[in-house]
Structure 1
Amino acid sequence: MKNSAASNGNWRSLIQLVRQTRPPKAALSIALGLSLISTLVGLLIPLFTKNAVDSFSVSSLSPGQIAAMAGAFLAQAAAGGVSVYLLNYIGHHVVAGIRERLWHKLLVLPVPYYDRHRTGDTISRMTNDTSVIKGLITEHTTGFITGIISIVGSIAVLLYMDWRMTLIMFSVFPLAFLILFPLARRMYTFSKDTQQETAKFTSVLNRVLSEIRLVKAAGAESVELERGDTAIRSLFRFGLREGTVQAMMAPLISFVLLMLLVVLFGYGGMRVASGAISAGQLVAFMLYLFQIVLPLTQISTFFTQLQKTMGATDMIVKVLEDEEENPEAGDRVTDAGQSLRVERVTFGYKPDEPILKDVSFTMETGKVTAIVGPSGSGKTTLFSLLERFYTPLAGEIRLGDTSIGRYSLASWRNQIGYVSQESPLIAGTIRDNICYGMQREVSAEELAQAARMAYADTFIEELPEKYETEVGERGIKLSGGQRQRIAIARALLRNPKILMLDEATSSLDSRSEAVVQQALGNLMQGRTTLVIAHRLSTVVDADRIVFLEKGVVTGTGTHEQLLAMHEMYRQFAAQQLKLAAEPQGAL
């Protein structure tokens, strides 16, 4: 009963998924109509053959009959060709619609979704699973529909010609059904497992190829080779299981055909000898038998593909039904020039494992607040909460007196400029990267001004193609300092009210760091700034320093105040700034 309910659910999900893409009904009607015409023409051919056999002579074949036959064959071929084209059009239309829905969905899924799912699995939903649905519509639906028409029409004609022989001939089919149906159920299980394995293999490919430099630098080729081989062998085993079922189905269908032929020749020959039917009728029976058995093969292939498609549909529907963000829901930020207050915030990626515990502090308008502390204390997690990638388990973050959760995501994130250690770039030109995310046309003057304030104009102007220079995947063609300055230019162009810096100079050499620090100085002017500091030398002049230790705020104040009252901060300062360990030590 559970399997039956699941199967019905899969059917409904597939039909609903296809209907939501609004397939062109006119094209579908024409395709089905042409398929019907083509099939009906095929049903008339055995009757013509019967008459030709029963009254065969050269004189009985008039030019008109030959022309009619040739015309019928040409019409059948043309109708079949147009029908196949239209069904391909419909299939691609449906898949494009599903991919558009998936793409829109993937862009509004929250960050926790991507924490739970591997990138390769998500890519597999968009590519492999949608291709399976396309294959069902474009390659197998025609055969299924015309096969049903051909079988029903052939059976109707056979019953009219000789119902006794027809019933005896079809006594074989219940046995075939009892054998083939369990095989089809197993095919569904295997196809679903194959989809999952394909997604896993896609994950391996995506991870390795996107970080191929790390693989080579770490000498991990042999490790990744084994992982890839394991995934390929697993796919091979699942493919063999599918092949085994298909290999069992093919000879079974051939066995059914042979049994039908034996019955037809044995019993039909007796009927011809007794004069109950003519030789032409027996030939017609044989032709109609092939018009039943061959479509049965197409129908069995359709159901095999349908099992794969329902498995793919399950995966796609799970993504489409996942909870999403609504970037426009909420109020618009009208005054971002207010203090930001973190009030008793508790958060953990798992509810029972908090990373931040009852954290409170204030970021004053237009001033610099630095977050320092040991690795793993929750500094980056705090940034993620401010960007609303996650929601606190307890407590609130307020802009003035208003919880930031009341603002729309689009409006809130538009107030924030973020420069990280890595400063990710997209594959494209320098212009594309500086203007990335802008909802309006950026003039050449604005672009040049942002680059100039970020001290990026000097190296950009030295490049042969200047702002049209391709940066490579993840900005690999630029140095670390150049990537940072591009990121700062991007933030300057957005003109954010709130600035978040994740120690943007920690991985640079001293010369690049000096230039980037100057650019950051331009960026920070007049903005509420929050800095994650791994090196105290970069934040000793901050207006307020918040010391975070194991998710708990253990001290706040200026550099001098923390030196005087915070033991661990003094240890940090002694190690990094070469200070004396005494509390009264000065810089």
Structure 2
Amino acid sequence: MKTSRSSSWKQIVTLIRYTDFPKWIFIFAVLLSVVQTLAGLVVPWFTKDFVDQLTGQAVSREVIYFLIGAFMLQAVSVGFSHYALAYVGQRIVASLRIKMWTKVLALPISYFDQNRSGEPVSRITNDTNILMNLITQHLVSFFTNIISIVGAVLILFMLDWRMTLIIVTVTPLTLLIIQPLGRQMYRISKKTQKELASFTSDLNEVVSEIRLVKASSAEPKETEAGTARIESLFRFGRKEAIVQAILAPFMTVMLMAVLVIIIGYGGYRVASGALSAGDLVAFILYMFQIIIPFSQFATFFTHLQKVMGASERLMEMMELDEEPKEARSPLSHRADQPILFEQVSFSYDSGQDHPSVETGEKPKAEATLQSLQLTFPPNRVTAIVGPSGSGKTTLFALLERFYTPDEGVIRYGPHSIHDLPLAQWRGLIGYVSQESPLMAGTIAENIAYGLQEEMEREAIERAATMAYAHDFIQKLPQGYDTEVGERGMKLSGGQRQRIAIARAILRDPQVLLLDEATSSLDSTSEQEVQKALQTLMKDRTTLVIAHRLSTVVDADQIIVLEYGRMTGAGTHQELYDSHALYRELADKQFKASSDSALLAQSVNRTSP
């Protein structure tokens, strides 16, 4: 997508408006910068008088006092304006990062399905930092440089208009060179930031899955992939260096040529008596007040191109659709509401919310769930079984409103769940998944994770006790204050699972979703946790995904899914008698369990 310069400026301004912009501090910084610039313009004028008085061997004290005062005013203005601008830049970026972080957390799951995690990370860190550098280092100095140049040129015309014309003539030629190089820098910067975001994604993914990398001996592969990314960044950096290498010498040569001409011609004018020595010194000083700011324009426009690319990416993210927050129906807190799926169809590939950032395209849809007509009665246990890929976990994802059905509606009592307040709806749900995800922090923090009110330690310990996690937690060096490590890697799978169950117990949910909640437990722990789950499931609408049918034979209702369709519903005995696939699964699993029991008995008999 091609973005015009004017629209890029609008995006930068719009981004700044998104933030808590400290306007008065910024205005104060600008005024100080103007004072600094004006003081700088005064110095050469008094220097002219000072030099002329030196040649006449009669130095006025007033001139010295004015020079000292101008220097002090300039120094104080520089110090305060630098701090004020740094504060403004840091405040803007902090506010923008908060907005971006809040935005990322509000994006639907479909965004993260189609974009790598490094994309938003790069936007929040790298792109916002580029914007901050523009504000703190370049933006105000750009305008004060204009004041400095205009003021210096006007004074130079007063001193000697002939020499001033030499300087003014060079300006259009320099701008003709800077403009195309600036456009080239914009394209390079945009590609660099995109490549940097991809590199960040790769780093996050590899580091987070470092155990898989090492266990698979994939270090050479990842080294090669990382090297390729780094080399790509190097090539973009080299292209940027080429542009700078063309721009910097050109500016230096042009400015040195002007300086030589001015000094030579000025010396001639002094010798002829048309100028005084003080006039020539002042002229040279004023010329530097044009040359130095003018040379900084190249840096400003180069950085501006980077900011335009960064602001474009930030605005793209800010304009993404968030999860719906508005509620059209009040949420009833009654726990006896049935959950109904009415002709619900859904596909992950429909790209319903966000196209891929990489391709910008929405892939073709392939139905995962097809015309599901289900009823989950309140205060009952419903088990969902079926082969892998039949849509069991997807059904849970729809219930938690991670996705919106392509067709049909999901109801909680009389209301569509998508008309209910999102946070309150999810607050009714307790979810225990196969992965048992934990956040870096203590065990106590993980058990209470997501709860708005601060939980007392007694409540946390009571939930852990019900999940049969209290005993192993007490044996840890720091007890409930033990750090679990990134993604809970300091704990075993069974320990993580019991903490996840304790988290669900503490939430006291009305709707309980168990996705193979005991899959990571040994047989002893599983029996204990099953007892805890039986207590937890009492008087709650419970949905259980089960691969082991032995754990759900006593469920009030069992639903069989195949290829996204419901092919059977009933009790264990009813399905065993009437459903071929269910009977096949049951026979295989119960036979395997029987064989395992016989094998264990055989081993016990033959053991010495």
Moved over 4 A (4+): none
Counterpart-to-counterpart distance in 2, 1:341 and 1:55 = 96
Counterpart-to-counterpart distance in 2, 1:78 and 1:437 = 49
Counterpart-to-counterpart distance in 1, 2:254 and 2:522 = 77
- Contact 2:107–2:321 (8 Å) recurs in 1: yes
- CA separation of 1:479/1:103 partners in 2, compared to 1, >3 Å: closer, same or farther? same
Name stretches of at least 5 consecutive residues in structure 1 with no aligned partner: 581-587
User: CA shift at 1:230, angstroms?
Assistant: 1.0
- Contact 1:332–1:411 (8 Å) recurs in 2: no
What SS is found at the alignment partner of 1:534?
coil
What SS is found at the alignment partner of 1:60?
coil
- Contact 1:417–1:500 (8 Å) recurs in 2: yes
Aligned residue number for residue 16 of structure 2: 18
The answer to whether structure 1 residue 275 and structure 2 residue 273 are counterparts is yes
Aligned residue number for residue 295 of structure 2: 297
Counterpart-to-counterpart distance in 1, 2:78 and 2:511 = 63
Aligned residue number for residue 487 of structure 2: 474
What SS is found at the alignment partner of 1:350?
helix
Aligned residue number for residue 449 of structure 1: 462
- Contact 1:420–1:502 (8 Å) recurs in 2: yes
Counterpart-to-counterpart distance in 1, 2:270 and 2:231 = 57
The answer to whether structure 1 residue 393 and structure 2 residue 393 are counterparts is no
The answer to whether structure 1 residue 349 and structure 2 residue 348 are counterparts is yes
User: CA shift at 1:484, angstroms?
Assistant: 1.4
- Contact 1:344–1:360 (8 Å) recurs in 2: yes
From 509, 516, 541, give the equivalent of 1:496. 509
- 1:313-352 equivalences under 5 Å are 313-327=311-325, 329-334=327-332, 335-351=334-350, 352=365
Q: Deviations over 1:318-342 (max 9, x none)?
A: 1111001243534342124211111
The answer to whether structure 1 residue 288 and structure 2 residue 257 are counterparts is no
- Contact 1:143–1:299 (8 Å) recurs in 2: no
Higher mean Cα deviation, 329-338 or 97-106?
Answer: 329-338
From 73, 77, 91, give the equivalent of 2:89. 91
User: CA shift at 1:527, angstroms?
Assistant: 1.1
- 1:42-61 equivalences under 5 Å are 42-57=40-55, 59-61=57-59
User: CA shift at 1:141, angstroms?
Assistant: 2.3
What SS is found at the alignment partner of 2:8?
helix
- Contact 2:386–2:560 (8 Å) recurs in 1: yes
Aligned residue number for residue 210 of structure 1: 208
Aligned residue number for residue 381 of structure 2: 368
Query: Which amino acid in 1 is paired with 2:564?
Result: G
- 1:201-280 equivalences under 5 Å are 201-280=199-278
- Contact 2:338–2:375 (8 Å) recurs in 1: yes
Aligned residue number for residue 583 of structure 1: none
Q: Deviations over 1:111-140 (max 9, x none)?
A: 111112111111011111111111111122
Query: Which amino acid in 2 is paired with 1:475?
Result: G
Counterpart-to-counterpart distance in 1, 2:17 and 2:294 = 27
Counterpart-to-counterpart distance in 1, 2:396 and 2:206 = 28
Aligned residue number for residue 306 of structure 1: 304
What SS is found at the alignment partner of 1:554?
strand
Aligned residue number for residue 98 of structure 2: 100
Aligned residue number for residue 180 of structure 1: 178
Query: Which amino acid in 2 is paired with 1:340?
Result: I
Aligned residue number for residue 160 of structure 1: 158
What SS is found at the alignment partner of 1:311?
helix
Counterpart-to-counterpart distance in 2, 1:569 and 1:94 = 60
Paired-residue identity, %: 54
Aligned residue number for residue 193 of structure 1: 191
- Contact 1:108–1:327 (8 Å) recurs in 2: no
Query: Which amino acid in 2 is paired with 1:485?
Result: R
What SS is found at the alignment partner of 2:54?
coil
Query: Which amino acid in 2 is paired with 1:32?
Result: V
What SS is found at the alignment partner of 1:467?
helix
- 1:110-121 equivalences under 5 Å are 110-121=108-119
Counterpart-to-counterpart distance in 2, 1:215 and 1:458 = 34
Higher mean Cα deviation, 57-66 or 117-126?
Answer: 57-66
User: CA shift at 1:88, angstroms?
Assistant: 0.1
Counterpart-to-counterpart distance in 2, 1:59 and 1:491 = 91
User: CA shift at 1:266, angstroms?
Assistant: 4.3
The answer to whether structure 1 residue 438 and structure 2 residue 451 are counterparts is yes
From 541, 547, 553, give the equivalent of 2:554. 541
Aligned residue number for residue 405 of structure 1: 418
User: CA shift at 1:316, angstroms?
Assistant: 0.9
Name stretches of at least 5 consecutive residues in structure 2 with no aligned partner: 351-364, 594-608
Q: Deviations over 1:264-322 (max 9, x none)?
A: 23443443344333333222222211110110122221111111111111111111110
- 1:129-140 equivalences under 5 Å are 129-140=127-138
- Contact 2:497–2:521 (8 Å) recurs in 1: no
Counterpart-to-counterpart distance in 2, 1:304 and 1:513 = 63
Count, aligned residues? 578
Counterpart-to-counterpart distance in 2, 1:439 and 1:520 = 24
User: CA shift at 1:59, angstroms?
Assistant: 4.0
TM-score normalized with structure 2 length? 0.91
- Contact 1:271–1:277 (8 Å) recurs in 2: yes
- Contact 2:368–2:564 (8 Å) recurs in 1: yes
TM-score normalized with structure 1 length? 0.95
From 513, 517, 528, give the equivalent of 1:515. 528
From 377, 397, 401, give the equivalent of 1:384. 397
Higher mean Cα deviation, 188-197 or 512-521?
Answer: 512-521
Aligned residue number for residue 577 of structure 1: 590
User: CA shift at 1:58, angstroms?
Assistant: 7.6
Counterpart-to-counterpart distance in 1, 2:405 and 2:366 = 13
- Contact 2:269–2:275 (8 Å) recurs in 1: yes
Aligned residue number for residue 563 of structure 2: 550
- Contact 2:511–2:542 (8 Å) recurs in 1: yes
- Contact 2:554–2:572 (8 Å) recurs in 1: yes
Counterpart-to-counterpart distance in 2, 1:266 and 1:463 = 83
Query: Which amino acid in 2 is paired with 1:347?
Result: F
- 1:135-150 equivalences under 5 Å are 135-150=133-148
Higher mean Cα deviation, 460-469 or 223-232?
Answer: 460-469
Counterpart-to-counterpart distance in 2, 1:104 and 1:326 = 14
Query: Which amino acid in 1 is paired with 2:524?
Result: R
What SS is found at the alignment partner of 1:499?
strand
Counterpart-to-counterpart distance in 1, 2:457 and 2:421 = 31
What SS is found at the alignment partner of 2:441?
coil
User: CA shift at 1:19, angstroms?
Assistant: 2.6
Query: Which amino acid in 1 is paired with 2:520?
Result: S
Q: Deviations over 1:166-187 (max 9, x none)?
A: 1233212211111111001111
What SS is found at the alignment partner of 1:359?
strand
Aligned residue number for residue 499 of structure 2: 486
What SS is found at the alignment partner of 2:21?
coil
Query: Which amino acid in 1 is paired with 2:396?
Result: F
Query: Which amino acid in 2 is paired with 1:573?
Result: A
The answer to whether structure 1 residue 530 and structure 2 residue 539 are counterparts is no
Counterpart-to-counterpart distance in 2, 1:46 and 1:444 = 71
- Contact 2:467–2:498 (8 Å) recurs in 1: yes
Aligned residue number for residue 168 of structure 2: 170
- Contact 1:43–1:153 (8 Å) recurs in 2: yes
